[in-house]
Amino acid sequence: MSRGSSAGFDRHITIFSPEGRVYQVEYAFKAINSTNLTAVAVKGIDTAVIAVQKRVPDSLIVADSVTSIYNLSPTVGCCAIGMIPDCKYQVRVAQMEASRWKYENGYDMPCELLAKRIADKNQFYTQNAEMRSLGCAMIMISYDDETGAVVFKVDPAGYYRGMKAVSVGVKQVGCL
Protein backbone atom coordinates (compact mmCIF):
# COMPACT_ATOMS: atom_id res chain seq x y z
CA MET A 1 0.00 0.00 0.00
CA SER A 2 1.17 3.48 -0.74
CA ARG A 3 0.28 5.05 2.60
CA GLY A 4 2.99 3.32 4.58
CA SER A 5 1.98 2.97 8.22
CA SER A 6 -1.71 3.56 7.48
CA ALA A 7 -1.97 0.39 5.40
CA GLY A 8 -4.93 -1.70 6.41
CA PHE A 9 -6.12 0.60 9.18
CA ASP A 10 -8.55 2.64 7.10
CA ARG A 11 -10.65 -0.40 6.25
CA HIS A 12 -11.85 -0.89 9.82
CA ILE A 13 -13.49 2.23 11.19
CA THR A 14 -13.52 1.02 14.79
CA ILE A 15 -9.75 0.45 14.95
CA PHE A 16 -7.28 3.22 15.69
CA SER A 17 -4.05 3.51 13.73
CA PRO A 18 -0.70 3.38 15.57
CA GLU A 19 -0.72 7.21 15.49
CA GLY A 20 -4.08 7.26 17.32
CA ARG A 21 -6.12 8.44 14.35
CA VAL A 22 -9.38 7.19 12.89
CA TYR A 23 -8.89 7.47 9.15
CA GLN A 24 -12.60 7.45 8.27
CA VAL A 25 -13.11 10.61 10.35
CA GLU A 26 -10.15 12.27 8.64
CA TYR A 27 -11.66 11.37 5.26
CA ALA A 28 -14.89 13.09 6.38
CA PHE A 29 -12.95 16.27 7.20
CA LYS A 30 -11.24 16.12 3.79
CA ALA A 31 -14.67 15.79 2.15
CA ILE A 32 -15.79 18.99 3.88
CA ASN A 33 -12.79 20.88 2.50
CA SER A 34 -13.21 19.39 -0.99
CA THR A 35 -16.37 21.45 -1.58
CA ASN A 36 -14.29 24.67 -1.68
CA LEU A 37 -16.91 26.52 0.37
CA THR A 38 -16.43 28.46 3.59
CA ALA A 39 -19.01 29.50 6.16
CA VAL A 40 -18.56 31.99 8.99
CA ALA A 41 -20.81 32.58 11.99
CA VAL A 42 -20.50 35.36 14.55
CA LYS A 43 -22.60 36.13 17.59
CA GLY A 44 -23.15 39.39 19.38
CA ILE A 45 -25.05 40.17 22.56
CA ASP A 46 -28.47 39.85 21.00
CA THR A 47 -27.87 38.53 17.49
CA ALA A 48 -26.15 35.74 15.57
CA VAL A 49 -25.27 35.79 11.87
CA ILE A 50 -24.13 33.17 9.35
CA ALA A 51 -22.41 34.03 6.05
CA VAL A 52 -21.85 31.28 3.49
CA GLN A 53 -20.27 31.31 0.07
CA LYS A 54 -22.61 30.37 -2.76
CA ARG A 55 -21.28 28.67 -5.85
CA VAL A 56 -23.55 27.57 -8.67
CA PRO A 57 -21.67 24.69 -10.34
CA ASP A 58 -23.44 24.89 -13.70
CA SER A 59 -25.17 27.65 -15.65
CA LEU A 60 -28.16 25.35 -16.22
CA ILE A 61 -28.90 25.16 -12.48
CA VAL A 62 -31.31 27.71 -11.05
CA ALA A 63 -29.21 29.79 -8.65
CA ASP A 64 -32.01 30.09 -6.06
CA SER A 65 -32.07 26.30 -5.63
CA VAL A 66 -28.44 26.16 -4.43
CA THR A 67 -28.18 26.83 -0.70
CA SER A 68 -26.26 25.80 2.39
CA ILE A 69 -28.55 27.56 4.88
CA TYR A 70 -31.52 25.75 6.42
CA ASN A 71 -34.16 26.16 9.12
CA LEU A 72 -34.07 23.31 11.63
CA SER A 73 -36.95 24.68 13.68
CA PRO A 74 -38.70 28.05 14.03
CA THR A 75 -35.96 29.13 16.46
CA VAL A 76 -32.83 27.35 15.15
CA GLY A 77 -31.09 27.91 11.83
CA CYS A 78 -27.97 26.29 10.44
CA CYS A 79 -25.56 26.06 7.59
CA ALA A 80 -24.18 22.73 6.48
CA ILE A 81 -20.87 22.56 4.60
CA GLY A 82 -19.56 19.42 2.95
CA MET A 83 -20.85 16.75 0.61
CA ILE A 84 -24.34 17.81 -0.46
CA PRO A 85 -26.13 14.46 0.15
CA ASP A 86 -24.53 14.16 3.59
CA CYS A 87 -25.52 17.74 4.42
CA LYS A 88 -29.12 17.22 3.34
CA TYR A 89 -29.32 13.99 5.36
CA GLN A 90 -27.91 15.60 8.49
CA VAL A 91 -30.22 18.61 8.14
CA ARG A 92 -33.21 16.29 7.78
CA VAL A 93 -32.18 14.32 10.89
CA ALA A 94 -31.83 17.58 12.84
CA GLN A 95 -35.24 18.77 11.63
CA MET A 96 -36.82 15.48 12.73
CA GLU A 97 -35.13 15.69 16.15
CA ALA A 98 -36.36 19.26 16.63
CA SER A 99 -39.89 18.43 15.53
CA ARG A 100 -40.04 15.31 17.74
CA TRP A 101 -38.91 17.43 20.71
CA LYS A 102 -41.58 20.05 19.99
CA TYR A 103 -44.28 17.34 19.76
CA GLU A 104 -43.22 15.62 23.01
CA ASN A 105 -42.41 18.69 25.12
CA GLY A 106 -44.56 21.48 23.71
CA TYR A 107 -41.76 24.00 23.11
CA ASP A 108 -38.92 24.43 20.64
CA MET A 109 -35.75 22.44 21.23
CA PRO A 110 -32.85 24.54 22.58
CA CYS A 111 -29.98 24.95 20.13
CA GLU A 112 -27.39 23.47 22.51
CA LEU A 113 -29.42 20.31 23.01
CA LEU A 114 -29.99 19.93 19.27
CA ALA A 115 -26.25 20.36 18.63
CA LYS A 116 -25.51 17.73 21.28
CA ARG A 117 -27.97 15.26 19.74
CA ILE A 118 -26.50 15.67 16.25
CA ALA A 119 -22.94 15.40 17.63
CA ASP A 120 -23.91 12.21 19.47
CA LYS A 121 -25.24 10.73 16.23
CA ASN A 122 -22.04 11.71 14.42
CA GLN A 123 -19.95 10.09 17.13
CA PHE A 124 -22.09 6.94 16.88
CA TYR A 125 -21.27 6.75 13.15
CA THR A 126 -17.55 6.56 14.00
CA GLN A 127 -18.09 3.37 16.01
CA ASN A 128 -20.20 1.22 13.69
CA ALA A 129 -18.90 -0.65 10.68
CA GLU A 130 -22.23 -0.47 8.84
CA MET A 131 -22.18 3.35 8.89
CA ARG A 132 -19.66 5.90 7.72
CA SER A 133 -18.83 9.30 9.10
CA LEU A 134 -20.76 12.00 7.27
CA GLY A 135 -18.71 14.49 5.28
CA CYS A 136 -20.62 17.40 6.77
CA ALA A 137 -20.00 20.09 9.37
CA MET A 138 -22.83 22.21 10.74
CA ILE A 139 -22.98 25.63 12.31
CA MET A 140 -26.19 26.23 14.26
CA ILE A 141 -27.45 29.61 15.43
CA SER A 142 -30.35 30.57 17.63
CA TYR A 143 -31.59 33.14 20.08
CA ASP A 144 -32.61 32.03 23.55
CA ASP A 145 -34.41 34.33 26.00
CA GLU A 146 -32.20 33.12 28.87
CA THR A 147 -28.76 32.94 27.24
CA GLY A 148 -29.15 35.33 24.30
CA ALA A 149 -27.64 34.56 20.91
CA VAL A 150 -25.83 31.23 20.57
CA VAL A 151 -23.59 29.69 17.90
CA PHE A 152 -22.63 26.00 17.89
CA LYS A 153 -20.34 24.02 15.62
CA VAL A 154 -20.85 20.27 15.08
CA ASP A 155 -18.22 18.21 13.26
CA PRO A 156 -18.07 14.65 11.85
CA ALA A 157 -16.07 13.35 14.82
CA GLY A 158 -18.99 14.02 17.17
CA TYR A 159 -17.53 17.16 18.71
CA TYR A 160 -19.73 20.17 19.37
CA ARG A 161 -18.91 23.44 21.04
CA GLY A 162 -20.51 26.81 21.65
CA MET A 163 -18.54 29.59 19.99
CA LYS A 164 -18.42 33.37 19.78
CA ALA A 165 -17.18 33.15 16.19
CA VAL A 166 -16.48 30.12 14.05
CA SER A 167 -15.69 29.20 10.48
CA VAL A 168 -16.01 25.92 8.61
CA GLY A 169 -14.69 24.91 5.23
CA VAL A 170 -11.67 25.11 3.05
CA LYS A 171 -10.49 28.56 4.25
CA GLN A 172 -11.60 28.26 7.86
CA VAL A 173 -8.19 29.19 9.28
CA GLY A 174 -7.86 32.44 7.34
CA CYS A 175 -11.41 33.67 7.97
CA LEU A 176 -11.21 34.61 11.62
Encode pLDDT of 59-74 as tens digits. Answer: 888 888 888 899 999 9
Domain segments of the chain: what residues? 11-170
Quick: pLDDT tens for 70-87. 999 999 999 999 998 999
- Asked whether the predicted pLDDT for residue 92 surpasses 80, the reply is yes
What is the torsion angle, in degrees rounded to the nearest 10, for the CA atoms of residue 75, residue 42, residue 80 and residue 160? Answer: -90
Q: How confident is the model at residue 25 (pLDDT cuts 50, 70, 90)?
A: confident
Q: How confident is the model at residue 12 (pLDDT cuts 50, 70, 90)?
A: low
Q: What is the pTM of this model?
A: 0.84
| Separation of alpha carbons 154 and 49, rounded Å | 16
Q: Which CATH superfamily is domain 11-170 in?
A: Aminohydrolase, N-terminal nucleophile (Ntn) domain (3.60.20.10)
pLDDT, residue 112, reads 94
Instruction: Tally Cβ neighbours within 10 Å of residue 148.
Output: 14
